[in-house]
Amino acid sequence: MDKFNPKMKKIARKRAPNVLIDILPTPIFSMLFLLHINQIATYLFLSDKETLNISVNTKQGGADTCAGRYVYMHNLPSRFNDDLIKNCEAYIELRNKCKYLVNSGFGPRILEDDYNHTTQVLTIETGSWYSTNQFMLEVIFREKMRHYECLTNDSSLSSAVFVPFYAGFDVRRFWGYSVKLRDELGEDLAQWLRKRSEWKKMNGRDHFFVTGRVGRDFRRATDQDSDWGNKLMRLPEFENITMLSIETNSWSNEFAVPYPTCFHPKSRTEVKRWQRQVRMTKRRHLYSFAGAKRPQIKVSIRGEIIRQCLASQERCKFLDCNNQSRDCSDPVKVMEVFRDSVFCVQPPGDTPTRRSTFDSILAGCIPVLFTPDSVYNQYNWYFPKDHTKYSVYIPEKDVKNGKVSIEKLLASISEGRILKMRNEVKKIIPKIIYTKPGEVGPEKIEDAFEIAVARVLDRVQDMPPN
Ligand SMILES: *[C@@H]1O[C@H](CO)[C@@H](O)[C@H](O)[C@H]1NC(C)=O
Ligand SMILES: *[C@@H]1O[C@H](CO)[C@@H](O)[C@H](O)[C@H]1NC(C)=O
Ligand SMILES: *[C@@H]1O[C@H](CO)[C@@H](O)[C@H](O)[C@H]1NC(C)=O
Ligand SMILES: *[C@@H]1O[C@H](CO)[C@@H](O)[C@H](O)[C@H]1NC(C)=O
């Protein structure tokens, strides 16, 4: 059974009471199947709606393990997705992202030959490491949805409707252009959606989409050209749609999901092997920071963090993201540093969240956070409620006014507590990665995608009727 996320199984069962078979061992499953007992079960346990699902599934053979989990994906005109990336090179603002679109948004694969030292750092023999760009989630998620085990092309069966819109590519390509241009495609999509028969069922409240950018890019407050982003999420239709993004600042119909990291394993075995490595590795640095100063942001604590890190000498490793060597955008270098550190400091940058936080989790490096908005207020579907279990919290203002020595504070944490926290961090790894699509059976992982879809389905199920 699912060791990584027992909660998820419980939810699946709650939603699919007819799936008796789900909780029975395989031999019994086969026996029941041979006896066609699922037909009898139909009469014994099911409401009308569920009977419908079963009748579809009898064709596929066996009971319906997808009951209540079916998702319908809209077949959008290509202007809402494929055209945006097909014309990637044509938009100045997108150009430096185009090379990351390969492998369904995972980016170029990291090859052993690329780095002499790679094999020691990454479990490269599995071929599961990619140069993944932090803003590719909408492309990755769509590909994952194409392989979702309960995808249906019959929308009357579905409990949720996925809208494969590349909202982030849309908003990014028109950075600095007129608000009219920025809003156009979103308004077009809103009209397209509300004309579909799927809209009528719940006025779009069972619809969801995913963006690889931060939520505030879609919540422009005024119609002045100088204002930030577009107003997608302020359109009446999108107020009914659930948005999943890498960072949210609106907690009504928007939920934060993990940034994609560079690790996209296929199997549970691979993840376990990686977790073992992460646990066993000797860590030379007490803490590390990968980032750059934000001199233009007055309240930024990054300057102070870098100052302290350099003063800590070999106890702190600073990976300078302003450095010409571009080590910071080299996933192997980043993982190397994080795997060699007990703690990874994750101060806010342009926004409170960072992809780097997920890199550090992946490397088994305990994150040090400075504002609740970096993780605690964001990724509630993914992290333990008690944040002291997996992270260290230092209030931003204590760093700002020089009250805290990061080195002293971290050095005072006992070895026992460190081991406990690292163990917790290790347990989070499978939940925050986006695995290679298509795996089924016991090697399948309840990854970030599976968790997101399950929670969206919960959310729709809990909604009051129209
Ligand atoms: C790998 O090592 C070889 C010889 O040791 C060297 O010639 C080559 O430049 C190295 N490649 C990289 C990418 O560092
Ligand atoms: C759904 O997909 C199946 C299998 O690909 C196909 O046979 C069927 O015609 C499709 N149904 C609809 C309504 O598109
Ligand atoms: C959004 O949902 C509410 C509640 O079902 C409904 O009254 C409203 O008309 C919907 N908005 C749109 C644009 O469909
Ligand atoms: C940039 O990185 C290289 C290699 O890690 C290092 O030797 C150099 O000192 C760094 N330069 C700056 C300005 O930090």
Per-residue pLDDT of the chain (466 residues; tens, 9 = 90+): 333 333 333 333 333 333 233 333 333 333 333 333 333 332 233 333 333 333 344 345 578 999 999 999 999 999 999 999 998 988 888 888 899 999 999 999 987 666 555 556 666 556 899 999 999 999 999 999 999 999 999 999 999 999 999 999 999 999 889 999 999 999 999 999 999 999 999 999 999 999 999 999 999 999 999 999 999 999 999 999 999 999 998 778 999 999 999 999 999 999 999 999 999 999 999 999 999 988 888 889 999 999 999 999 899 999 999 877 778 888 888 999 999 999 999 999 989 999 999 999 999 999 999 999 999 999 999 999 999 999 999 999 999 988 999 999 999 999 999 999 999 999 999 999 999 998 888 899 999 999 999 999 999 999 987 6
Closest by CA to 143, choosing from 117, 106, 88, is: 106
User: Distance between CA 371 and CA 359 in Å, rounded?
Assistant: 18
User: Distance between CA 391 and CA 384 in Å, rounded?
Assistant: 10
Q: Is residue 310 within 6 Å of ligand 4 at its C-beta?
A: no
* Ligand 3 midpoint to CA 200 (Å): 9
Q: Is residue 75 within 6 Å of ligand 2 at its C-beta?
A: no
Is the same domain home to 149 and 164? Answer: yes
Ligand 4 atom with the smallest distance to the CA of 320 is 14
Is the same domain home to 282 and 215? Answer: no
Residue 265 belongs to a domain = no
- Is residue 89 within 8 Å of residue 95, measured between CB atoms? yes
* Ligand 4 midpoint to CA 325 (Å): 7
Residue 456 belongs to a domain = yes
- The dihedral through the CA atoms of 148, 152, 158, 160 has a sign that is positive
- Is residue 369 within 8 Å of residue 356, measured between CB atoms? no
Is the same domain home to 419 and 388? Answer: yes
* One-letter identity of residue 94: L
DSSP helix/strand/coil, 31 = helix
Relative to beta strand 341-346, strand 242-245 is unpaired
Tokens 């007055």, located at residue: 298
**Nearest residue CA, atom 6 of ligand 3?**
203
End-to-end Cα, the chain, rounded Å? 37
Ligand 3 atom with the smallest distance to the CA of 204 is 14
Residue 268 belongs to a domain = no
Ligand 2 atom with the smallest distance to the CA of 154 is 13
The residue range of the domain holding 91 is: 78-260+435-461
Residue 319 class from Cβ within 10 Å (0-12 exposed, 13-18 middle, 19+ buried)?
Answer: buried
* Ligand 3 midpoint to CA 164 (Å): 21
Is the same domain home to 450 and 421? Answer: no
**Nearest residue CA, atom 3 of ligand 1?**
116
**Nearest residue CA, atom 11 of ligand 2?**
153
Is the same domain home to 413 and 442? Answer: no
Which listed ligand is nearest to 325 at the C-alpha? 4
Residue 197 belongs to a domain = yes
Is the same domain home to 49 and 107? Answer: no
How far CA 71 is from CA of 22, 68, 160, 179, 196, in Å, comes to: 20, 9, 5, 33, 16
Question: Among 153, 156, 157, which residue has the most ligand 2 atoms within 8 Å of its CB, making it the best to mutate?
Answer: 153
* Ligand 1 midpoint to CA 114 (Å): 9
**Nearest residue CA, atom 5 of ligand 1?**
116
Q: Encoding tokens for residue 158?
A: 């579905």
Relative to beta strand 316-320, strand 160-162 is unpaired
Which listed ligand is nearest to 463 at the C-alpha? 3
**Nearest residue CA, atom 9 of ligand 2?**
153
Q: Is residue 237 within 6 Å of ligand 3 at its C-beta?
A: yes
Closest by CA to 159, choosing from 463, 388, 401, is: 463
Ligand 3 atom with the smallest distance to the CA of 466 is 5
Q: What is the pLDDT of residue 115?
A: 58
Which listed ligand is nearest to 111 at the C-alpha? 1
- The dihedral through the CA atoms of 191, 192, 198, 204 has a sign that is negative
Cβ count within 10 A of residue 233: 24
Is the same domain home to 33 and 59? Answer: yes
Q: Is residue 55 within 6 Å of ligand 4 at its C-beta?
A: no
* Ligand 3 midpoint to CA 215 (Å): 21
Q: Long-range contacts of range 146-154, CB-CB < 8 Å, 24 or more positions apart?
A: 146/73, 146/437, 147/437, 147/438, 148/71, 148/449, 148/453, 149/66, 149/440, 150/66, 150/69, 150/70, 150/71, 151/70, 151/71, 151/72, 151/73, 152/66, 152/70, 152/71, 152/72, 153/72, 154/56, 154/72
Residue 6 belongs to a domain = no
| Helix residue spans in 111-267 (DSSP H) | 118-121, 137-146, 167-173, 179-194, 197-202, 236-240
State phi, psi for 416 to the nearest 5 degrees.
-60, -45
Q: Is residue 330 within 6 Å of ligand 4 at its C-beta?
A: no
Whole-structure pTM value:
0.83
Which listed ligand is nearest to 194 at the C-alpha? 3
User: Distance between CA 8 and CA 246 in Å, rounded?
Assistant: 21
- Is residue 240 within 8 Å of residue 204, measured between CB atoms? yes
State phi, psi for 69 to the nearest 5 degrees.
-120, 5
- Is residue 130 within 8 Å of residue 262, measured between CB atoms? yes
* One-letter identity of residue 213: R
Closest by CA to 15, choosing from 72, 70, 73, is: 70
Is the same domain home to 338 and 195? Answer: no
Q: Is residue 203 within 6 Å of ligand 3 at its C-beta?
A: yes
Last residue of a domain, one of 24, 46, 70: 70
Is the same domain home to 329 and 411? Answer: yes
Report how many domains make up the chain: 3
User: Distance between CA 218 and CA 253 in Å, rounded?
Assistant: 13
Residue 36 belongs to a domain = yes
Is the same domain home to 249 and 278? Answer: no
State phi, psi for 366 to the nearest 5 degrees.
-70, 120
Which listed ligand is nearest to 253 at the C-alpha? 3
Cβ-Cβ contacts under 8 Å for 57 (sequence gap 6 or more): 63, 64, 66
